[in-house]
């Protein structure tokens, strides 16, 4: 490889898990850098479906070691539940192939309780979080009051810091906070024993891996448009999902990075609140949702759907500097007579096109997409494995995207299964 990075280029749910699963066959290490169990990566292999939230998708690959990196917020109960769930589907030796950074901040059930209260406080301006404690955990991390996994092994320190956190939230929310700190402390007495074999110094681990040129595959969580700095703030996640967050979250050596791959769905979806310029709330959006099976892996919520937005993808390419793209779920467009692609935004107040993707969310809410229309191909492509076998209209669609964003589409997803992928070297 030696280090390949897979990132989401839109608002998440692009299909990163599938490409990760394919490339894991060649990888020695698969790593997650940031985020938490709010992520949802789906893999379908040999007729079995796997859903990963906190675990890297590489756990399904039998010869791949997996690492949960230092910028991940780590929810212990979810970690053990996922291990058990994946083991129940026949994946062997998984507990010997997963490690967790001792620098991870612990995402307590306390954080989840607070997450729900914060969303209630925001009212109509609620972000639409998964209510799994991700934001509050990153908040305590930034405020330097959080608890790292390394501190868990110092029982007195751990219990003092968790009680202080709980006391602070209790003062703010009073009886609205439904949480028992002593119950969580009691559970961690057992977790402390069970986690001992999984927790490592991830900096030393990655240093050794990179010095010996191990093949490392990094699986990004969420996507660029949910990045805390570059996404559609404030309707974003609480971590850096961009390339920079990957490098810092794992301590990657920049000279070891061989390829950065952006995964982009052939149309656009989003879960939760926030601007979505190409969203279609009518027939097209409903059809995309139904044909694409657009239900969130982590939330179970229906995803909002619309045409592909090349303004977003061009912006994503500018921030993450992709070497190549994986265009996923192209097959979902197979029954459309005409296919639209957004190529610009127009401000209805001025009538002018915007020169770039705006930071001002109020401006983004009112923009009108400018569309380019292409003919559809009206034939199924679910079993197509070669570029030359795609209908000409499908190839034209792919090539239009490439020319617009100046980045090669190297992989094309033509169905849900692991083998439903065209590779263009």
Indicate which residues carry an active-site annotation.
13, 41
- Strand, helix or coil for residue 272: coil
For residue 295 the two structure tokens come to 């239900």
Please check whether residue 6 is in contact with residue 220, taking contact to mean a CB–CB distance below 8 angstroms.
yes
Six-digit token pair at 371? 């569309």
Counting Cβ atoms within 10 Å, is residue 376 exposed (0-12), middle (13-18) or buried (19+)? middle
- Contact indicator for 216, 209 with CB cutoff of 8 Å: yes
Q: Measured in whole angstroms, how far is the alpha carbon of residue 179 from the centre of its chain?
A: 29
Of the candidates 70, 420, 49, 398, the one whose C-alpha atom is nearest the C-alpha of residue 240 is: 70
Closest by CA to 222, choosing from 13, 6, 21, is 13
Q: How far apart are the first and last CA of the chain?
A: 14
- The CA angle 297-302-307, to the nearest 5 degrees, is 105
SS3 254: helix
Dihedral angle of Cα 5, 358, 41, 109, to the nearest 10 degrees:
110
| Residue 367: burial class (beta carbons within 10 Å; 0-12, 13-18, 19+) | buried
Using CA atoms, how far apart are residues 221 and 99, in angstroms rounded to an integer?
17
């Amino acid at each position: 490889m030696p280090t390949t990075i897979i990132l989401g280029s839109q608002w998440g749910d692009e299909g990163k898990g599938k490409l990760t699963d394919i490339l894991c066959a060649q990888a020695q290490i698969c790593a997650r850098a940031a985020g938490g169990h709010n992520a949802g990566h789906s893999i379908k292999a040999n007729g079995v479906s796997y859903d990963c939230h906190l675990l890297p998708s590489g756990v399904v690959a039998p010869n791949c070691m997996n690492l949960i990196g230092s910028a991940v917020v780590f929810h212990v109960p979810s970690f053990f539940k996922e291990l058990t769930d994946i083991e129940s589907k026949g994946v062997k030796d998984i507990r010997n192939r997963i490690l967790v950074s001792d620098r991870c901040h612990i995402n307590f059930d306390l954080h989840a309780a607070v997450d729900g209260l914060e969303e209630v406080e925001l009212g109509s301006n609620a972000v639409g979080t998964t209510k799994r404690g991700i934001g509050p955990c990153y908040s305590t991390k930034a405020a330097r009051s959080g608890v790292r996994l390394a501190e868990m092994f110092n029982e007195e320190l751990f219990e003092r810091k968790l009680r202080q956190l709980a006391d602070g939230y209790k003062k703010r929310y009073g009886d609205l906070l439904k949480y028992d700190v002593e119950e969580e402390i009691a559970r961690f007495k057992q977790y402390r024993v069970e986690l001992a074999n999984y927790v490592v110094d991830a900096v030393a681990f990655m240093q050794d891996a990179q010095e010996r040129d191990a093949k490392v595959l990094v699986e990004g969580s969420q996507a660029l448009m949910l990045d805390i700095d570059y996404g559609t703030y404030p309707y974003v996640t609480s971590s850096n999902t961009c390339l920079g967050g990957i490098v810092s979250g794992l301590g990657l050596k920049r000279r070891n990075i061989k390829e950065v791959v952006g995964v982009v769905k052939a149309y656009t979806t989003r879960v939760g609140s926030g601007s979505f310029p190409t969203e279609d709330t009518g027939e097209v959006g409903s059809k995309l949702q139904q044909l694409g099976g657009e239900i969130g892996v982590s939330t179970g919520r229906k995803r909002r759907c619309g045409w592909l937005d090349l303004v977003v993808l061009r912006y994503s390419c500018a921030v993450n500097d992709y070497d190549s793209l994986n265009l996923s779920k192209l097959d979902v467009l197979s029954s459309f007579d005409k296919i639209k692609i957004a190529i610009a935004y127009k401000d209805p107040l001025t009538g002018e096109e915007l020169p770039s993707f705006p930071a001002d969310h109020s401006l983004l809410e009112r923009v009108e997409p400018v569309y380019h229309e292409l003919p559809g191909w009206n034939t199924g492509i679910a079993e197509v494995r070669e570029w030359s076998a795609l209908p000409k209209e499908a190839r034209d669609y792919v090539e239009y995207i490439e020319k617009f964003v100046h980045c090669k589409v190297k992989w094309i997803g033509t169905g849900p299964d692991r083998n439903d992928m065209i590779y263009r070297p």
